[in-house]
Structure 1
Amino acid sequence: MMAVGAAAASVPAVAATSQPPASVPSDSGGGDVIANMFQWTWNSVAEECTGSLGPAGYGYVQVSPPQENIQGTEWWTSYQPVSYQIESKLGTRAEFAAMVETCRTAGVGVVADAVINHMTGANNGSGTGVAGSSFGIDDFPGLYGADDFNDCREDIEDYGDRDEVQNCRLVSLQDLRTGSDGVRSTIAGYLNDLISLGVSGFRIDAAKHIPAEDLEAIKSKLSDPDAFWVHEVIGAAGEPIQPSEYLGSGDSHEFDYARDLKSRFDGQISQLNGIAEGKLDSDRAGVFVDNHDTERNGETMNYKFGAKYLLANAFMLSWPYGSPSVYSGYTFDDKDAGAPGATGTSVPDASCDSAEWTCTHRATEVTGMVGFHNEVAGTEVTDWWDDGDNHIAYGRGESGYVTINNSDAAVTRTYETSLPAGTYCDVVASSTCEETYTVDSDGTFTATVPAYGALALHVGKTTTGGGGGDDGDDDGDNGDGGDDGEGGDEEAGSTTVYYSTANDWAAYNIHYQVGSGEWTAAPGEPLAEACTGWVKHEIDPDGATITAAFNDGGGTWDNNSGQDYTLSGTDISVSADGVTEENPC
């Protein structure tokens, strides 16, 4: 338990593009899960889209603010704009544009963190940004002057006063007069520039400090007024400004969800089935376990919670509420500290080979649940069970089943599910189906869940296609004993993958990984014409399993609903009818 499973050759195929809920943009090849890559450079994000995010089934990646910012090593310097040039500590305009294109090709849309409430802190006086632009008090040449800032020059103190919260300064930051049409047009121009580079949507930073009607007016000026927005509105009981009033221009982050996760995993998780009560409607809520602010201020869990943190992410990804964001940042002792190796004007590329970067988005426990989330989309919770304390289990209809043990002792139990009979991979345990569980004809299976562990099964990761069978240890040779006599020009031990052309794409590519090796560079290798209705590509797996996804080279993907296809054998065909071991030609 705590790992990701792989599908066998009989996993059913899915449509060429899975459709995310209405609350997120619909141009990705995966689902609605967002990877929030805090302070990752554009080059690092591009590599991650190809090598990790796309293959894992993430639909989107949220990137840190791309505009020019003040100089300094601290992370919060990214949130003090100097100009709207796409030149920042994290990379150049050209690198940003290349990242967006690379991610799009990998089936991952880009959501930019948009800082539009304010400019630099007044306490900084005057200076020069990381790209060389000058700034001062009420002075941003070519962009804003004194009349473009609100009259209040004091810091916010009373959060019960709407006017003060939305017209005074947030910790000294010079507050833009967003009620002005000129300011609105300038902000819209910046967002339109990002849209022109291919950005799919925006997180609106500090939205609580901008009147909702101002944001609606700004959005109406966009070249794509339907672009995805999610607002950072930190709701608090008794305050006049609440997340729900911003739904006219987009979704809102539901901070109470993250607070409740911390409370439950620090206490008892048996009441998590009521976590949506009193919150935004599911299709308008952005949810997360933590973000860059809350991981530092103690409001939510963070990576320092260890196994409990991963369990909270597993719950979020398996529970049908909101559009989930998986946060991935870096380790810290000083809450102001910038990314590892940051200078006043640059940030080094991130590396998951370094313990300094948390790389939560890559954790097997998390990627397995991203796939689970995509597979069970649209299903309701069934078969809920809890022990009244810290052990829960629940199903997602006939599509999946999860159990979470938030206690310090292993638990053995027989679980009652609505799953079809068959042998399933535990997608929390490994990415290679190392642990399997057989669901009997009555829907039950028995398992031991480790302390602070989880187990998750779904119909997209089985060894039997739902019909029972062996333990799924598929290490290359499928037992057929070699060449079947067809395709005599194939090399011994090679696998020919056939893909149906029913999607009517202009081009067909296979993006794949052999065993635990490197993935091909997206979009992968072109598939050649095999016969009417089929294209093919030959791969030498050297006895290992092939993990693959297919695409048209233009951003449309068939990645098995974010699960990817696991293939082995001599001839494998992939179509809407499923994955079978045969030469269709």
Structure 2
Amino acid sequence: DTCHAAGVKVVVDTVINHMANSAGTGTAGSSYSKYNYPGLYSSSDLDDCTRDIDNYGDSWNVHHCELSGLPDLDTGEEYVRKTIAGYLNDLLSLGVDGFRIDAAKHIPPGDLANIKGRLSNPGVHWKQETIGAPGEAVQPGQYTGTGDVQEFSFAKDLKRIFSGEKLAYLKNFGEAWGYVPSGKAATFVTNHDTERHDTTLTYKNGSAYTLAHVFMLAWPYGSPDVHSGYEFSSDAGSPNDGQVNACYTDGWKCQHAWREIASMVEFRNTAGSAGVTNWWDNGNNAIAFGRGDKAYVAINHESGSLNRTFQTSLPAGTYCDVQSGKPVTVNGSGQFTATLGGNTALALHTGATSCSDTGPGPDPDPEAGASFSVDATTAWGENIYVTGDNAALGSWNPAAALKLDPASYPVWKLDVALPTGTSFAYKYLRKDASGKVTWESGANRTATVPSSGKTLLSDSWRS
């Protein structure tokens, strides 16, 4: 009820493919052991195959043998189907709005359809974890008759593109890449499993991670999920006691609250079903596109600034760039001129025509900003970043910090667009290959953008 009162729906991650593979005592005091769960299941309710899955080219092996030693429930059995449906119906009676089916790939599609058909609301939101791979017998498309499927290839390909290939390749991203139909796809940049397995981007990837979210939420494919997770090393999980006091404490990264990500939710809702228009790219890592006459986004995943006149289908008028909170004026031809700092984005939509946090004022000078330059010697795998108290600098969030260009090593450089007269605080940090962050010492640095041009900052790393 508390969630619903706040406009939040609840989707439960349900584990119905298997049982625990060890002995112990449950939270309610019941004892259990592998293959025997008194009052619930016994060995007769489990599949006969008690070895690990060893042939992903054989669907029977994938569906009926054990996933990492976890006893596999015989979901073809009437009692098991009835018991699982009873569990899900109990959750629905508590007000749950949908289900994410863990390890759905290891349950025959027909069994899942039978179980879902027994629910008090058979049309409930139903999202299935189905990790497909070329050449395997079980593929995500086999489960679209029951509900949505998580398109893991979407997340893996985003990592590949944002980590070293060209954003220009994204022009036809989606079904043309062999993914399931858009209306059946649940998309994500990362989730609680993949971020610990190094198969998708994570908060440790800084601007690549943030910009991938901007793209996902702007692009008309699938139904996007944003994972708001915890700091981790290796496969560490959330706090052991399950208690978190507030955003940015106890290791909670609060990605859902990052301006760059949160602002794109309304962008997506405003764009609706509008298709892609006015695609532009520089042949490398700067792209821009519209969503009909409703929205327009530009993403600069280059280390240097991008200054150009963009062509949109937006009606003439003033809009708020929801990424920076600054006004942008679109002329009668649907054009506007803007400068995007390295590894930043700009997003306009018809639902945001004023910036309440900035008030009225002139458009930023497209040439104005800060030119960062810092002499910093690094070890192999380390990179230098800058962040500060301005949204364009990542709002002191290391995960949103801007990476500097090492082309003039040991001097690292970056130009960032900021309105004239802007006073800001900033500091440099370094990240190693594992994502570990080390801040430079000393007090915060400060600077002010002049009335014209850029403030030129020539700094040295403070150890």
**Aligned residue in 2 for 1:379:** 274
Q: Tell me whether 1:145 sits opposite 2:145 in the alignment.
A: no
**Aligned residue in 2 for 1:411:** 306
Q: Tell me whether 1:120 sits opposite 2:20 in the alignment.
A: yes
**Aligned residue in 1 for 2:242:** 347
2:76 counterpart letter in structure 1: G
Q: Percent identity over the alignment?
A: 51
Q: Tell me whether 1:392 sits opposite 2:287 in the alignment.
A: yes
1:414 counterpart letter in structure 2: T
SS of corresponding position for 2:226: strand
Q: Tell me whether 1:244 sits opposite 2:141 in the alignment.
A: yes
1:265-280 map, 5 Å = 265-266=162-163, 267-276=165-174, 277=176, 278-280=178-180
**Aligned residue in 2 for 1:210:** 107
2:185 counterpart letter in structure 1: A
Q: CA deviation at 1:210?
A: 0.3
* Equivalent in 351, 360, 368 of residue 255 of structure 2: 360
Which runs of no fewer than 5 residues in structure 2 stay unpaired? Answer: 365-463
Q: CA deviation at 1:472?
A: 9.1
**Aligned residue in 1 for 2:418:** none
Q: Tell me whether 1:427 sits opposite 2:310 in the alignment.
A: no
Alpha-carbon distance change, 374 to 457 in structure 1, aligned in 2, over 3 angstroms? same
Verify the 8 A CA contact 2:244 2:252 in the aligned structure 1.
Answer: no
1:252-291 map, 5 Å = 252-266=149-163, 267-276=165-174, 277=176, 278-291=178-191
**Aligned residue in 1 for 2:205:** 305
1:505-524 map, 5 Å = none
Q: Tell me whether 1:102 sits opposite 2:2 in the alignment.
A: yes
Alpha-carbon distance change, 137 to 355 in structure 1, aligned in 2, over 3 angstroms? closer
TM-score (norm 2): 0.75
Q: Deviations over 1:304-331 (max 9, x none)?
A: 1111101000000000000000011101
2:90 counterpart letter in structure 1: D
Measure the CA separation in 1 of the matches of 2:226 and 2:245.
17
1:249 counterpart letter in structure 2: T
Measure the CA separation in 1 of the matches of 2:237 and 2:134.
32
Q: Deviations over 1:30-54 (max 9, x none)?
A: xxxxxxxxxxxxxxxxxxxxxxxxx
Verify the 8 A CA contact 1:167 1:209 in the aligned structure 2.
Answer: yes
TM-score (norm 1): 0.60
Which runs of no fewer than 5 residues in structure 1 stay unpaired? Answer: 1-100, 474-585
Q: Tell me whether 1:437 sits opposite 2:328 in the alignment.
A: yes
Measure the CA separation in 2 of the matches of 1:363 and 1:236.
32
**Aligned residue in 2 for 1:566:** none
Measure the CA separation in 1 of the matches of 2:284 and 2:237.
39
Measure the CA separation in 1 of the matches of 2:136 and 2:189.
23
How many residues are matched?
Answer: 358
Q: Structure 1 segments of 4 or more deviating over 6 A?
A: none
SS of corresponding position for 1:394: strand
Q: Tell me whether 1:225 sits opposite 2:122 in the alignment.
A: yes
Q: CA deviation at 1:220?
A: 0.9
**Aligned residue in 2 for 1:477:** none
1:205 counterpart letter in structure 2: D
Q: CA deviation at 1:228?
A: 1.1
Q: Comparing both chains, which one has the higher relative contact order based on Cα–Cα distances under 8 Å and sequence gaps of 6 or more?
A: 1
1:257 counterpart letter in structure 2: F
Q: CA deviation at 1:470?
A: 5.4
Q: CA deviation at 1:255?
A: 0.8
Verify the 8 A CA contact 2:248 2:254 in the aligned structure 1.
Answer: no
* Equivalent in 461, 466, 476 of residue 352 of structure 2: 461
2:136 counterpart letter in structure 1: E
Measure the CA separation in 2 of the matches of 1:226 and 1:402.
34
2:311 counterpart letter in structure 1: E
Q: CA deviation at 1:350?
A: 4.8
Verify the 8 A CA contact 1:411 1:448 in the aligned structure 2.
Answer: yes
SS of corresponding position for 1:120: coil
**Aligned residue in 2 for 1:331:** 231
Verify the 8 A CA contact 1:350 1:357 in the aligned structure 2.
Answer: no
SS of corresponding position for 2:167: coil
SS of corresponding position for 1:118: coil
2:237 counterpart letter in structure 1: G
Measure the CA separation in 1 of the matches of 2:323 and 2:310.
17
Q: Tell me whether 1:315 sits opposite 2:206 in the alignment.
A: no
Q: CA deviation at 1:131?
A: 3.1
1:193 counterpart letter in structure 2: D
**Aligned residue in 2 for 1:183:** 80
Measure the CA separation in 1 of the matches of 2:31 and 2:245.
29
Measure the CA separation in 2 of the matches of 1:229 and 1:472.
45
Measure the CA separation in 2 of the matches of 1:318 and 1:302.
19
1:372 counterpart letter in structure 2: F
Measure the CA separation in 2 of the matches of 1:450 and 1:285.
32
CA RMSD of aligned residues (A): 1.7
Measure the CA separation in 2 of the matches of 1:366 and 1:219.
33
